[in-house]
């Protein structure tokens, strides 16, 4: 089940919100006293619906997730209660988590590598559980934060299960640190403003996914899948730019929907995107893209390895090798990670030292050209197809431009314009203009809420119309 699904939008989500509302009443009237505010009923509903949400597509692997949570629950308690062996317990917990993700995500890849080297081994045919990369990394961050005493240990298994299985961010992130939501598991309240902001953010994400990403995917598939063997240079650029926009609106749309749903329930997840295509270096790009993954590797890999203090270049390459591996068990992801690792490392010693002396427009063009080329590596897990694409991308083809390319541009003119426009910080700019023009007057509130209602209703109607009969609706990052 995915958020941009008619069943989720019109059956699962309304049913959840109704049950959650009833649970809120139960907490307030039956389970709370004057001194405390209970969330027990709401938490129970959230856990139940989260398990249903995950089991809907993969009923077997819900037991794997439950096993992972139980293991990490016991390891967390062991770290908290033991002073002498807490480091050893942490290491055991990390090994178990890495073993789980390694078995289901990388065992087949390593077996294939051995076969390619002439060492015949059996290749296991193991399906990849949805979201395993996200909930495993959340489990790892929980154990390390408990070990560092940066977060309290969770003594109730259902509450740790709530943290890891929470359906808004379960299958495609963002990677939520336990410390971010630890207090809100037991102490959260939702007012009308929270619910309104959360619902609006959810619908903005829905629009990004259905109205923009899904339509852009048809253009990228037209050139990079169906038309790869007859690709022109212009077609290669059109296809990969469409994918560049598609993956941004797809993943940032999911993050918006996750953050919005969390807000509706009283959780405040950290931002995961900050207009990455407005970057002025590759280093800047990765500070803006998938922020939760970047901060995970920074805090749990880069800094422990020595960070900027010792062997900085090696540390950067290790982090980016692991970043590529995290995205998938395929050589193209490893190459993609090393590609960006080398650029980030070189920028540390070159570009960033003279960054302020270079015109911003040249920095932006430089950054986007490298980002677009990087998405070309990311897209193709078949090296023969990748070679065909990059030959066309760099002009090593007989035809530069044809009628198909022209049609893709002109027939989708407004899609291109709107997609490029919404890569900019539109909401921030509009908010600043509104504050300047209207200040804190009652008119400002009326204008904001009226425009939000109109935009939200429009997005919901148009998205529903586009989803009827849609065949290409999966989120890209559910593969990871």
User: Please, is 378 exposed, middle or buried when counting C-beta atoms within 10 Å of its C-beta (0-12, 13-18, 19+)?
Assistant: buried
DSSP string, 20-38: HHHHHHHIIIII--SS---
Average pLDDT value for the chain? 89
How confident is the model at residue 186, as a pLDDT?
A: 85
How confident is the model at residue 202, as a pLDDT?
A: 95
Is omega for the bond preceding 174 within 30 degrees of 0, making it cis? Answer: yes
Round to whole Å and give the CA distance between 151 and 142: 8
Q: Which residue has the higher pLDDT, 410 or 120?
A: 410
How confident is the model at residue 472, as a pLDDT?
A: 67
Work out the average pLDDT over 350-360.
Answer: 90
Round to whole Å and give the CA distance between 95 and 268: 30
How confident is the model at residue 16, as a pLDDT?
A: 94
In the structure, what pLDDT confidence band is assigned to residue 429 with cuts at 50, 70 and 90?
Answer: confident
pLDDT of 31 over the 70 cut: no
In the structure, what pLDDT confidence band is assigned to residue 473 with cuts at 50, 70 and 90?
Answer: low
How confident is the model at residue 34, as a pLDDT?
A: 52
Round to whole Å and give the CA distance between 273 and 260: 14
Work out the average pLDDT over 394-416.
Answer: 90
pLDDT tens digits, residue range 242-294?
A: 999 999 999 999 999 999 999 999 899 999 999 999 999 999 999 999 999 99
- Residue 287 CB coordination number (10 Å): 15
Round to whole Å and give the CA distance between 445 and 434: 10
Q: From residue 153, how far is each of 20, 37, 86 by CA, in Å?
A: 26, 21, 13
Lowest mean pLDDT among 48-57, 116-125, 219-228, 412-421: 116-125
pLDDT tens digits, residue range 300-347?
A: 999 999 888 888 889 999 999 999 999 888 899 999 999 999 999 999
pTM greater than 0.85: yes
pLDDT of 413 over the 90 cut: yes
Round to whole Å and give the CA distance between 342 and 348: 10
pLDDT tens digits, residue range 132-148?
A: 888 999 999 999 999 99
Answer whether 69's CB lies under 8 Å from 115's CB.
Answer: no
Q: Which residue has the higher pLDDT, 189 or 289?
A: 289
How confident is the model at residue 345, as a pLDDT?
A: 93
Nearest CA among 232, 78, 266 for reference residue 162: 266
How confident is the model at residue 451, as a pLDDT?
A: 86
Share of the chain above pLDDT 70, in %: 97
In the structure, what pLDDT confidence band is assigned to residue 26 with cuts at 50, 70 and 90?
Answer: confident
pLDDT tens digits, residue range 206-240?
A: 999 999 999 999 999 999 988 888 899 999 999 99
pLDDT of 35 over the 70 cut: no
Q: What is the residue extent of each domain of the chain? A: 6-188, 194-467
Q: Give Cβ neighbours of residue 437 (< 8 Å, ≥ 6 apart).
A: none
In the structure, what pLDDT confidence band is assigned to residue 76 with cuts at 50, 70 and 90?
Answer: very high
Round to whole Å and give the CA distance between 409 and 241: 11
How confident is the model at residue 77, as a pLDDT?
A: 94
Residues recognised as catalytic: 327
């Amino acid at each position: 089940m995915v958020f941009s699904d008619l069943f989720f939008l019109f059956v699962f989500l309304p049913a959840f919100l109704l049950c959650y509302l009833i649970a809120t009443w139960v907490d307030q009237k039956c389970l709370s006293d004057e001194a405390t505010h209970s969330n027990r009923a709401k938490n129970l509903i959230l856990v139940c619906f989260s398990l249903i949400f995950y089991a809907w597509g993969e009923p077997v692997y819900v037991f794997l997730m439950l096993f992972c949570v139980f293991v990490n629950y016991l390891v967390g308690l062991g770290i908290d209660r033991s002073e002498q062996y807490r480091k050893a317990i942490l290491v055991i917990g990390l090994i178990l988590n890495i073993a789980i993700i390694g078995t289901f995500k990388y065992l087949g890849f390593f077996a294939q590598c051995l076969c390619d080297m002439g060492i015949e081994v059996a290749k296991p045919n193991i399906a990849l559980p949805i979201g395993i990369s996200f909930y495993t990394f959340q489990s790892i961050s929980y154990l390390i934060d408990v070990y560092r005493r940066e977060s309290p240990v969770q003594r109730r298994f259902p509450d740790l299960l709530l943290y890891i299985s929470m359906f808004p961010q379960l299958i495609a992130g963002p990677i939520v640190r336990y410390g971010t939501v630890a207090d809100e598991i037991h102490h959260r309240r939702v007012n009308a403003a929270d619910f309104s902001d959360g619902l609006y953010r959810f619908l903005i994400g829905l629009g990004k996914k259905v109205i923009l990403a899904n339509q852009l995917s048809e253009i990228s598939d037209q050139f990079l899948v169906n038309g790869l063997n007859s690709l022109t240079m212009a077609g290669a650029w059109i296809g990969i730019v469409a994918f560049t926009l598609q993956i941004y609106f797809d993943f940032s749309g999911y993050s918006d929907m996750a953050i919005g749903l969390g807000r509706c329930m009283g959780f405040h997840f950290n931002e995961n995107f900050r207009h990455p295509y407005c970057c002025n270096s590759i280093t800047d790009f990765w500070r803006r893209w998938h922020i939760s993954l970047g901060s995970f590797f920074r805090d749990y890999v880069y800094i422990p390895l020595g960070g900027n203090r010792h062997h900085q270049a090696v540390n950067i390459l290790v982090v980016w090798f692991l970043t590529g591996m995290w995205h998938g068990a395929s050589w193209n992801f490893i190459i993609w990670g090393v590609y960006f690792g080398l650029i980030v490392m070189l920028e540390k010693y070159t570009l960033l030292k003279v960054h302020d002396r270079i015109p911003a427009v040249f920095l932006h063009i430089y950054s986007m050209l490298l980002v677009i080329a990087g998405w070309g590596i990311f897209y193709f897990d078949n090296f023969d197809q990748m070679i065909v694409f990059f030959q066309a991308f760099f002009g090593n083809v007989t035809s530069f431009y044809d009628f198909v390319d022209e049609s893709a541009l002109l027939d989708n003119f407004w899609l291109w314009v709107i997609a490029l426009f919404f890569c900019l910080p539109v909401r921030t700019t509009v908010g600043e203009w509104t504050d300047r023009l209207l200040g804190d007057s009652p008119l400002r509130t009326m204008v904001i809420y009226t425009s939000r209602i109109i935009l939200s209703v429009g997005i919901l109607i148009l998205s529903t119309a586009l989803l009827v009969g849609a065949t290409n609706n999966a989120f890209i990052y559910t593969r990871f």
